[in-house]
Structure 1
Amino acid sequence: MSASTPASLAVLLQNLSLEENQDHEEVLKHANNILKNSSDPQTIKTRVVALIKLERYDEAIKSIEQAGGSGLEFEHAYSLYKQGNLEGALAISPDVISTERKQRALKQLQAQAHYRAENFQSAIDLYEELSKLPPLVENEEYDLRVNLGASEAQLSFVGKDALRPKRRTTAEDLQQYESAFNTACISVARGDLNGALMLLKTSKKLCRSMEGASEEDIQAELAPLIAQELYVLIKLGKFEEARELYKSSGILDTNDEPVKLIASANCYLTSPTPNPHVGLRVFEALEKRPQGSQKPFTFQSDILEQNTTVLKLQAGKENAALASAKALKAKNSNNYTISSVVASIELQSADSTAAKSIAKTLKEAAGKELDSTSDIGIAFLNIQNYLKENNVTSAVAVAEGLLKELEGEPEKRYTAGLVGVVAGLYTLQGRKAKVKAELEAASTYWRSTTHPNAAVLLATGTAELFSTNLQDRTTAASIFESLVASNPTPLSNAGYIASHPAEDMPSKIAQLTPIATLLKDINVNSLLEFGVAAPPTKKRALETAPKSQSKARKKRKIRLPKGGIDPNKKPDPERWLPLRDRSTYKPKGKKDKKKARDLTQGGPVADKDGDTEMIGGNTVTKVMPTQTSTASKNKSKKKAGKRK
């Protein structure tokens, strides 16, 4: 080889193939030898491709930059993408590429870069644009459909697909396991867990039936499907079935570390008695997850970090939990879930459980730990505590104070959840005008944005329909028109028809579910047998049952002494007598003694004539008063008269 000329090396290099089964190190060696004496563009390209095949992306980028990059735009963008420099890959414009084939390749690469950068709507726009063009390579149409489905699934997971048309499952989606899996993920994101479970099982079946794939490849492809199925089973509350699948699926043997650890973390939650220390070890292993293309999306990593924070709190590591909470809040100020962790830590040392005292403690925590007194999560906790005490006025005051602090941040101020809570509080107070004003303000804001919130618009349009004002009904019609144009659902169609004259839209009425379909599962005969339900009256119902069948009176509970009954102690024989008739009775004062002597059985009793009486078998003589005593008595009366 050393005696060969550069020309002969170039000819040899052109005959070499850069397929997977070739020795790319040998190709790179030949290319380097040629480039010592020549700067042939084809040789430079071959060297760059060999470096990419060997995953030496830094050297490939350096080689492209030294060559000027002309004709190597796709290779440059691909190397930047694999290196994790998504912005650099997106900065290379497809317009500088002359051939249509490479332009399309670069657009697909940029769509994938948008996907990894979590710009899912941009990725969807590019894939839809490419899908409208005729395919240039084999299986391109299928690949575009699969990638489009994956982007739609991620858009659903982040909750930004509210106004996108809901695509139904088609026969094409069930032909390959990738498309069936993407459709299942969309169902998971939209809350249709039973439908997602059926699609995941179909996807697993299609994956196992792949032709020409080794058992090792099939198991690698099954791993993410099984991990998603485990999640769905847990969400459905089928913990036993999830544990059985986790043990029997062999997912712990996969080489996909992120999938294996996420599945382990989810299955930890199904344990009857989860140990937070064991859970922490699992989640700490997740922190060592690979980066690049296997890096979890932000919404996934945030949930993992939140779970880790909660586990630290459950394990008694309050300082570590508080530090994690503050780090999460600093990274994402709109993450209000983590506020509950801070609240739990702060309230552990609170002295009072009154809502007013808790609100003061949490307000100090919001300013000290979260660096914000307008934390929506903390405000919701305070509102809930006040409502538990039936103190709606204070709950409304907290909500209105929060709204005032968020006036400069309309995206937070008109969050769908916050608008719903405020409207609900005003409804409890019967303030219909305030409810209407709140919904109208939220609707006005969201309609001015590029991604309106469908839930807020639907609630506003429904509220406007009940108004007798013509302007309000016009507003409702406009709202439902925008909803039907972007995402025609049964609710939006019904609202559209209700806000417009029925004679102007026979086509819209035809889209509503027929009454026969709505009533097909109702048994009219059984309803007639049960009769018409009526609200209970205030009057007592007449007793139809005889008195003998009336409810027996509850027996009075026998009261025993505090110390119990001593079997060795003789009971008091006078315990049945009234207290005053017992021998141990000792009345208080002279009058009480005299009264007791007169009333006690066996005491002296005098008749009118002063005769003696037999008292207890003894003769008692009644003593008559003397003259002296009578005179003194009269004297005392006279003295009393003089004092008058």
Structure 2
Amino acid sequence: MSASTPASLAVLLQNLSLDEPQDHEEILRHANNILKNNSDPQTLKTRVVALIKLERYDEAIKSIEQAGGSASTGLGFEHAYCLYKQGNLEGALAISAEGLPTERRQRALKHLHAQAQYRAENFQSAIELYEELSKLPPLVENEDNDLRVNLGASEAQLSFTGKDALRPKRRATAEDLQQYESAFNAACISVARGDLSAGLMLLRTAKKLCSSMEGVTEEDLKTELAPLIAQEIYVLIKLGKLKEAVELYKSSDILETSDEAVKLIASANCYVTSQTPNPHVGLRVYETLQKQPQGTQKPFTFQSDIFEQNKTILTLQAGKEKSALLSAQALKKQNPNDYTISSVVASIELQATDSTAAKSVAKTLKESASRKLGSTDIGIVFLNVQNYLKENNVTSAVAIVETLLKELESSPEKRYMPGLVGVVAGLYTLQGRKAKVKAELESASTYWRSTTNPDPAVLLATGTAELSSPNLQDRTTAASIFESLVANNPTPLSNAGYVASHPAEDMPSKVAQLTPIATLLKDTKVSSLLESGVAAPPTKKRPLESAPKTQVKTRKKRKIRLPKGGIDPNKKPDPERWLPLRDRSSYKPKGKKDKRKAKDLTQGGVVTDKDGDTEMIGGNTVTKVSAPVSSASKNKNKKKAGKRK
């Protein structure tokens, strides 16, 4: 074949189109024939694009590298795209956009970098790239919409990983409900933050929008609906609507989708939530569904970890203790700093090593802690803390955590994990030890500020605690912390802390970044607040709700009795009216018996001694001298003795 030029290539390919699948092979064949005699850059690009359309990424990468690499050929975007589709995210991110010839290709590579960061689970970096691109004017049609959808997806995944504490709580807007992609992202954000009812409503709205799309084949529609159905099944399970979730799983065509990750997650969730799952059958189900999808279909780490945890538990329930222990140890090795996984793995390890059915997990954990087997295992310690708190034994919970802190002093990256710091601060708060809480937060803040990627949640908690201190040095530390937060991660919370820690400075730009008061009070109804009144604390301790309510009989008040003629203001009241009746001077006992009783009274009366020789008169003791009795009078009263007749 004679040598060809770019002009002859254009004539040769003018009747072919890359949009037609049947033309890709024909284009590739013509491009290969031309490149045998002429290394034309345009022909090389045509060959690479045709290989990408045919999903032959290895050959496309080989063609670029043989031609001198992406820098010399100007095919940096195509090279990065092939690496991304192969799952080589680091290689795709290593290709710089500066070597590309046009601004449009540089912008396209930034889009690809943002997507690679998303797949690499660097969601914060992806958000920053999408926000940077959103500030620039769009270069292609519908680019602003794609940026908004991708930004929402990155925010949703950041929420699922629990790292969006400092980001503003964004609500779904009317613009989000125009397309099913944005509605789905808003639903995922609501689900990740625990608002399941709102998430379910948004998911069903997204399904309606997706089903009403025009110009989409039935196969593509099933592919688009599969993630929405899988997410709806998950929300129904979390809401306790298990029967409805299983019915949706069976009635949908989710098993026919080409997305292996979605198929796996939906099927696994439905099986695990069944009433009486057979662990042996469950393992077969997992092995059948698990085809290890790679590339863009590979599940995220937080999804695959939960899947492996469930599989490990099923293995243990099936009686395969050694296999479960090996799987648990592999999970622990992959996630050494994830204390949630560590807690699950620790309990599995303990059950596998001690199969005595009579022992509860709580008892086993306490025994392992006493033998110092789990003093450095964060999972075992957290489970022990939870069990102690259920028993209201805060002292023992604090003691086991302090033992853990001493063991982890040589590993500051574990010692100052945000979750561990939060648990320690919470336990000290339960004991009312404010100084210890402050010291723990300060130590954690000092460590994180010395690292290249400080944790914003720890810094925010420390800054808030220091800001409430009356000490001037603490307020200075708080100002420094909020300055670093505003510089690296500006959010409404960090801006508010910055303004609060710099009361003497004039900072109109920072004040302008705060949420307006009118926006904060937008949903507040003053009239309803006034009608409800001011809540006052209860004056008496309320009884427990479980305690039976005993009815207390109310005593009837006696009516005040007044004289018949009324009260005479001129008549003086009796001064002895407060004395008992028998103590009044006007008291006159009735009858002989009462007179005898009155004679024995001590107040003003006469008291005769036992022997009859003393008496009390007016409070003075007087000796009574009685007249001698004559013998005649004595004999007078005696009976005369006589003979019996």
Q: What is the CA–CA distance in structure 2 between the aligned matches of 1:268 and 1:310, rounded to whole Å?
A: 13
CA distance in 2, matches of 1:457, 1:39: 57
Task: Return the offset for 1:177.
Answer: 0.9
Give the distance between the partners of 1:493 and 1:389, measured in 2 at CA. Answer: 39
Contact persistence 1:473–1:499 (CA under 8 A): no
**Corresponding position of 1:433:** 435
Aligned partner of 1:244 in structure 2 is 247
- Mapped contact 1:460–1:476 kept (Cα < 8 A): yes
Matches within 5 A, 1:563-578: none
Partner Cα separation in structure 2 for residue 451 and residue 471 of structure 1: 25
Matched, 1:488 2:488: no
The residue number in structure 1 matching 2:162 is: 159
Residues 448 and 520 of structure 1: CA distance in aligned 2, closer, same or farther (over 3 Å): farther
Asked if 1:544 corresponds to 2:549, the answer is no
1:225-244 deviation per Cα after TM superposition (whole angstroms, max 9, x unaligned): 11111111212222222222
Distance (whole Å) between structure 1 residues aligned to residue 502 and residue 350 of structure 2? 45
Cα shift readout 1:129-151 (whole Å, capped 9, x = no counterpart): 22222222222221122122212
CA contact (8 A) 2:408 2:414 kept: yes
Q: Does 1:300 align with 2:303?
A: yes
User: Following the alignment from structure 2 to structure 1, what is the Cα–Cα distance between the partners of residues 66 and 507?
Assistant: 68
Distance (whole Å) between structure 2 residues aligned to residue 525 and residue 68 of structure 1: 76
Structure 1 Cα separation of the partners of residues 525 and 532 of structure 2 = 17
Would you say the 8 A contact 1:446–1:452 is kept in 2?
yes
Q: Does 1:323 align with 2:326?
A: yes
Q: Deviations over 1:362-395 (max 9, x none)?
A: 577957xxxxx52211112233344456554443
Range that drifts further, 459-468 or 142-151: 459-468
Correspondence list, 1:65-144, <5 A: 65-69=65-69, 70-144=73-147
CA contact (8 A) 1:157 1:189 kept: yes
- Distance between the aligned counterparts of 1:516 and 1:75, measured in 2? 50
Deviation, 1:323, is: 0.8
Specify which of 395, 398, 413 is matched with residue 411 of structure 1: 413
- State how far apart, in whole Å, the 2-side matches of 1:268 and 1:158 are: 24
Letter in 2 for 1:278: V
1:52 aligned residue: 52
Q: Which amino acid aligns with 1:53?
A: K
Aligned equivalent of 1:221: 224
Contact 2:384 2:397 in 1 (8 A): yes
Correspondent of 2:382 among 380, 383, 389: 380
Shift in CA distance, 439/45, structure 1 to aligned 2, threshold 3 Å: closer
- Asked if residue 510 in structure 1 is aligned to residue 517 in structure 2, the reply is yes
Give unpaired runs (5+ residues) of structure 2: 544-548, 556-645
AA partner of residue 517 (structure 2): A
CA distances 1:18-55 after superposition (whole Å, capped 9, x unpaired): 22344212222222222333322222222222222211
> 1:40 maps to what in 2?
40
Distance 2:458 2:333 in 1: 28
- Is residue 13 from structure 1 mapped to residue 12 from structure 2 by the alignment? yes
The answer to whether the Cα contact below 8 Å between 1:261 and 1:282 also exists between their aligned partners in 2 is no
Q: How many Å apart are 1:161 and its aligned residue?
A: 2.3
Does structure 1 residue 61 correspond to structure 2 residue 64? no
Change (3 A) 1:11 1:213: closer
Which consecutive residues of structure 1, in runs of 5 or more, have no partner in the other structure?
368-372, 547-644
Deviation, 1:427, is: 3.8
Mapped partners of 2:495, 2:485: distance in 1 = 6
Change (3 A) 1:389 1:480: same
Give, in whole Å, the separation in 1 of the partners of 2:110 and 2:490.
26
Q: What's the CA shift string for 1:239-290, capped at 9, x where partnerless?
A: 2222222222222232322212211111123322223223222322343232
Aligned to 2:178: 175
User: Take 2:424 and 2:410, find their aligned partners in 1: how far apart are those partners?
Assistant: 18
Residue 562 of structure 1 corresponds to none
Deviation at 1:295, TM superposition (A): 0.7
Q: TM-score, normalised by structure 2?
A: 0.73
Deviations 1:506-528 (A, max 9, x none): 98683585499277666957999
C-alpha deviation, 1:302, in angstroms: 0.9
Which letter maps to 2:220?
D
Cα distance, 1:525–1:40 mapped onto 2, change above 3 Å: closer
Deviation at 1:314, TM superposition (A): 2.2
Q: 1:200 aligns with which of 195, 203, 223?
A: 203
**Amino-acid identity (%):** 68
TM-score w.r.t. structure 1 length? 0.73
1:342 partnered with 2:341: no
Task: Check 1:5–1:477 CA distance in 2 against 1; reply closer, same or farther (3 A cut).
Answer: closer
Separation (CA, whole Å) in 2 of partners of 1:525 and 1:122: 47
2-structure distance, mates of 1:9, 1:437:
77
Instruction: Give the structure 2 partner of residue 29 of structure 1.
Output: 29
Deviation string for 1:611-636 (max 9, x for gaps)?
xxxxxxxxxxxxxxxxxxxxxxxxxx
Are residues 42 and 460 of structure 1, via their aligned partners in 2, closer, same or farther at CA, if it must alter by over 3 Å? Answer: closer
CA contact (8 A) 2:167 2:491 kept: yes
Write the distance in 1 (CA, Å) between the matches of 2:323 and 2:361.
28
Taking a change above 3 Å as real, the CA distance of residues 36 and 355 of structure 1, as seen in their structure-2 partners, is: closer
Which amino acid in the other structure matches residue 25 of structure 2?
Answer: E
SS of 2:37 mapped into structure 1:
coil
Which residue in 1 is equivalent to 2:233? 230
Give the residue type in structure 1 aligned to 2:138.
P
The question of whether the paired residues in 2 share the 8 Å contact of 1:379 and 1:399 is answered with yes
Instruction: Check 1:504–1:52 CA distance in 2 against 1; reply closer, same or farther (3 A cut).
Output: closer
The answer as to whether partners of 2:17 and 2:23 remain within 8 angstroms in 1 is no
Cα distance between partner residues in 2 of 1:431 and 1:527: 32
1:569-588 map, 5 Å: none
1:471 to partner: Cα distance: 4.2
Report deviation, 1:324. Answer: 0.5
Correspondence for 2:638: none
Task: Return the match for 1:359 from 360, 366, 369.
Answer: 366
**Counterpart contact for 1:493–1:512, Cα < 8 Å:** no
Task: Give the Cα separation in 1 of the matches to 2:523 and 2:227.
Answer: 42
SS at match of 2:553: coil
The Cα shift of 1:173 comes to: 1.7
Q: Is the 8 A contact 1:346 1:362 kept in 2?
A: no
1:201 CA displacement: 1.4
Instruction: Show the counterpart of 1:190.
Output: 193
Post-superposition CA distance 1:464-517 (Å, at most 9, x none): 56644444456567667877883326x99699769969x999986835854992
Q: In the superposition, relative to structure 1, how do residues 231 and 90 fare at CA in structure 2: closer, same or farther (>3 Å)?
A: same
Q: Which is further off, 415-424 or 316-325? A: 415-424
| Bigger relative contact order, structure 1 or 2 (CA pairs below 8 A, ≥6 apart) | 1
Q: 1:560-603: per-residue Cα shift (whole Å, max 9, x none)?
A: xxxxxxxxxxxxxxxxxxxxxxxxxxxxxxxxxxxxxxxxxxxx
1:314 pairs with 2:317? yes
CA distance in 2 between partners of 1:293 and 1:276 (Å): 30
Residue 638 of structure 1 is matched in structure 2 by none
Pairwise CA distance, 1:106: 1.6
Instruction: Flag the 1:532–1:28 CA change in 2: closer, same or farther, 3 A.
Output: closer
1:308 counterpart letter in structure 2: K
Counterpart of 1:441 in 2: which secondary structure?
Answer: helix
* 1:342-372 C-alpha deviation (Å, 9 max, x unpaired): 23323434987697874343577957xxxxx
Question: In 2, are the aligned partners of 1:162 and 1:453 still within 8 Å (CA)?
Answer: no
| CA deviation profile, 1:372-419 (whole Å, cap 9, x unmatched) | x52211112233344456554443222112112222333322233322
1:259 to 262, 275, 280: 262
Distance 2:525 2:482 in 1: 23
Aligned match of 1:565: none
- Shift of the 181–90 alpha-carbon distance from structure 1 to 2, 3 Å rule, reads same
8 Å CA contact 2:3, 2:38 repeated in 1: no
